[in-house]
């Protein structure tokens, strides 16, 4: 009996000691790691602001090979959620609550063991690239037992964050390097348009392309006038192929009218329709000769956001170069894409 009493007393004393220690343990814990990534800040921001891209660099699959990861809510930014379920990493979710382009992303974490948990990724531009700070915060509240998780977290969560940052660095540095910060781009739905068009080709120089476009537009305008059609939009150039030595594209003008009455002649002008559906629309302001730079920035935007293209891009020459200064010319650039909301759910 004395042995039993001593055992119970020892257990009570041990419990009291643990409670006393727990009372003085910190009720919160902050863990931070950082890295510098040789990539534009906008690119890194896109990767951490888009849950659909998390699987490309998240440390979870390396920690738990059979983890199941899903995306829900908004496509990116505030309201988008990344959830996981695995035998090693457990069950949890990360919902973006604050997104500040291109400098900060804050997420609410719903996990066991913390009354309030957040994850913040803070970005800054440096001479070496983009500085990334990953900060994990846990609030254990009044739960004494949970407070004992604090010291363990540093040993377990610290290496996990370091692995994630290393993966993020490797992934970001292998994406297209054009900086798309400041690019005017939006995701919209467009309807198909009737067009009169000519298939053309040119060597990839600004002067040769300009000459080809001018000649093709003259032929199309002559066709429109002869057939009694009406111009219904800005002139277009639809990319078709590029083999390194030659560009192939359709030169087009949107039209309306009685197409059944048209008797196609030997002008080479045809009647067709443009693509209709979801697109990225970017605004290029300035000389036509700088359009290649805008296309490179769009390509970088598409890669960083995990967007899938769905057809040939095209340009709409909104401004009249005979009336507008070259620096003020507006060209709209379109890239057909898959429905981004559906694509995000599938990842």
CATH code for the domain in which residue 308 is found = 3.20.80.10
Q: How many domains does the chain have?
A: 2
Q: What is the pLDDT of residue 344?
A: 42
CB neighbours (10 Å) of residue 136? 20
Residues 70 and 112 in one domain: yes
**What does residue 225 show for φ and ψ, rounded to 5 degrees?**
-65, -45
Q: What is the pLDDT of residue 284?
A: 97
Q: Give the range of the structural domain holding residue 306, as residue numbers without chain letter.
A: 184-346
Q: At 185, is the secondary structure helix, strand, or coil?
A: strand
Last residue of a domain, one of 133, 148, 172: 172
Q: What is the pLDDT of residue 9?
A: 53
- Tell me whether residue 5 is in a domain: no
Spans of the chain, pLDDT less than 70: 1-27, 112-115, 140-153, 264, 340-347
Residues 27 and 80 in one domain: yes
Q: What is the pLDDT of residue 207?
A: 87
Residues 200 and 224 in one domain: yes
- Tell me whether residue 2 is in a domain: no
Q: What is the pLDDT of residue 15?
A: 46
Residues 70 and 120 in one domain: yes
Dist. CA 277–CA 192, nearest whole Å: 8
Residues 48 and 146 in one domain: yes
Residues 78 and 209 in one domain: no
- Tell me whether residue 341 is in a domain: yes
DSSP string of 6-19, one letter each residue: HHHHHHHHHHHHHH
Q: Which residue is listed with tokens 């309306």?
A: 256
Residues 121 and 251 in one domain: no
Last residue of a domain, one of 172, 194, 221: 172
């Amino acid at each position: 009996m004395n042995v039993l009493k001593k055992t119970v007393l020892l257990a009570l004393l041990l419990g009291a000691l643990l409670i006393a220690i727990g009372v003085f343990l910190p009720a919160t814990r902050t863990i931070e790691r950082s890295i510098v990534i040789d990539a534009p800040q906008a690119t890194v921001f896109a990767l951490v602001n888009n849950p659909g891209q998390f699987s490309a660099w998240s440390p979870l699959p390396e920690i738990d090979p059979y983890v199941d990861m899903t995306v829900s809510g908004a496509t990116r930014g505030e309201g988008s959620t990344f959830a996981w379920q695995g035998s090693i990493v457990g069950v949890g979710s990360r919902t973006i609550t604050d997104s500040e382009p291109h400098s900060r992303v804050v997420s609410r974490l719903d996990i066991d063991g913390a009354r309030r948990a957040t994850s913040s990724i803070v970005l800054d531009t440096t001479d070496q690239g983009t500085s990334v700070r990953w900060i994990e915060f846990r609030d254990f509240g009044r739960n004494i037992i949970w407070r004992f998780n604090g010291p363990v977290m540093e040993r377990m969560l610290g290496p996990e964050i370091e692995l994630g940052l290393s993966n993020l660095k490797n992934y970001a540095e292998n994406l297209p390097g054009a900086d798309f910060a400041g690019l005017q781009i939006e995701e919209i739905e467009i309807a198909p348009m009737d067009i009169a068009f000519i298939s053309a080709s040119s060597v990839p120089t600004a002067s040769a392309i300009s000459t080809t476009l001018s000649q093709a537009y003259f032929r199309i305008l002559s066709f429109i006038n002869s057939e009694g059609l009406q111009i219904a939009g800005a002139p277009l150039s639809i990319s078709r192929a590029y083999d390194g030595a030659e560009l192939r594209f359709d030169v087009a003008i949107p039209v309306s009218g009685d197409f059944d009455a048209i008797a196609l002649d030997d002008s080479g002008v045809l009647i067709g329709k443009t693509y209709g559906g979801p697109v990225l629309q970017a605004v290029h302001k300035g000389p036509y000769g700088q359009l290649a730079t805008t296309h490179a920035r769009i390509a970088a935007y598409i890669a960083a956001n995990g967007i899938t293209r769905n057809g040939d891009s095209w340009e709409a020459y909104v401004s009249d170069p005979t009336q507008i200064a070259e620096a003020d010319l507006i060209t709209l650039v379109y890239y057909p894409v898959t429905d981004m909301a559906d694509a995000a759910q599938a990842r």
